[in-house]
Amino acid sequence: MSHTVIFGKDSSGFQHPVRCNTNGELELAGGLTVSLDAQNDSVQVYGDYIGTKTALTTTASGALNVWSNPLSSSTDEVVVYGNDGSSNQKLKTSVAGRLEVDVNSSVGTLSTSDTTTQSKLDTLHTDLIGTLNVSDSLAQSSLNTIVSQTALNATNAEQQSQTSYLISSDGKLSTLITNTTGLNNCIAGNELQVDIVSAPTLTVSQNALSATTDEVVVYGNDGTANHKLLTDATGKLTVNLHDQEKTTTSATLQSATSIPASGSMTTSAVDMDGHRVISVYGNTTNTMDSIYIQMSDDNVNWYKDSQAFIYPDFNSGDFSYTLKDVAVRYVRFVKDNTQGGAETITLKYTQMKF
């Protein structure tokens, strides 16, 4: 077998055989620089599609053809966020996917004599939620009506514009991520490297999501995991309403306090501060004299509750009393000792906010 050796000259004019590795690939000492001319040269760019090198295609005007990959309800997920005034927060759902809503305030008492307010509420009641029947299971029918009548209306220009903008933005990002995946690993380092001397403006065409052909599944979060928002068979959103948590505060106002004969004891003020219920309880050695309640709105001027008196049990000396629907800011308790000897009293309280 005959061989042909190729020689080249160095800068001094000496000839040397051209070197290659054991695979027959040409070895370069200082790298290879290629200059391309936008008018006379062209570069064919390839991507990888499941192991097959495929040339990228363009339109007649040079716009890059991008494959549109619609989102699917069975394979794609989107987490929806809201904002608490300073930070974005994931919408919270139950494990079943139902959207959870905190009721942060309640309406006051509405007098039926307030005809103007009553009329407006009747109109709102009729237009939005229909007749709410307490016999309905969790008022499901009325909740379904709320969701149905407040859903996005495709004919509403403003809502349609905002929806189209969101769909367009999401579609551009999804299409870009999906259809540029094949460019990975073209060379070591997961980078596509091209030296461009000059090139025309690159135009990319894209397809926005369509309301008739594309699907997006909306997820919420229960604090640990994401869950699909739950709907019924007609697509109406299912919502669980839950009460705000009740909080209680307990403290001891008097602990084995001695009241001298013909003396009196007044506790320090209890700040209700939004608490609606307070229970007072304890024990005294004087079972003949009652405990009464004083109220104040400024912790300075106090007024006796002439209808509430706490009487200790005659045998044990134990006592307890619960004051409900408290509207004043401050409450305190007074115990007189009209007996001939000293009295010992322990008095505690628990208040509840809800």
Q: Name which of 54, 49, 56 is nearest 205 in CA terms.
A: 56
For the chain, give every domain's residue range: 78-242, 247-353
Tell me what pLDDT residue 34 has: 62
Mean pLDDT of 16-45: 73
Average pLDDT of the chain to the nearest whole number: 77
Q: Name which of 220, 221, 224, 223 is nearest 237 in CA terms.
A: 220
Tell me what pLDDT residue 134 has: 44
Residue 80 has pLDDT above 50, yes or no: yes
Q: Could you report the per-residue pLDDT of 333-354, keeping only the tens digit for each? A: 999 999 889 999 999 999 998 7
Provide the 3-class DSSP secondary structure of residue 321: strand
Tell me how crowded residue 325 is: count the other CB atoms within 10 A of its CB: 6
Provide the 3-class DSSP secondary structure of residue 175: helix
Mean pLDDT of 213-222: 84
Provide the 3-class DSSP secondary structure of residue 306: strand
Phi, psi of 142 (to 5 degrees): -70, -40
Buried b (16+ CB within 10 A) or exposed e, 231-253: eeeeebbbbeeeeeeeeeeeeeb
Mean pLDDT of 102-112: 55
Report the C-alpha gap between 9 and 13 in whole angstroms.
5
Answering whether pTM is above 0.75, one says: no
Q: What is the DSSP string of 234-303?
A: T-PBPEEEEPPPPEEEEEEEEEEEEE-TT-EEEPPPEE-TT--EEEEEEEES--SS-EEEEEESSSSS-E
73-87, 170-184, 322-336 — which one is most confidently predicted on average?
Answer: 322-336
Residue 62 has pLDDT above 90, yes or no: no
In the CATH scheme, what is the code of domain 247-353? 2.60.120.380
Tell me what pLDDT residue 190 has: 52
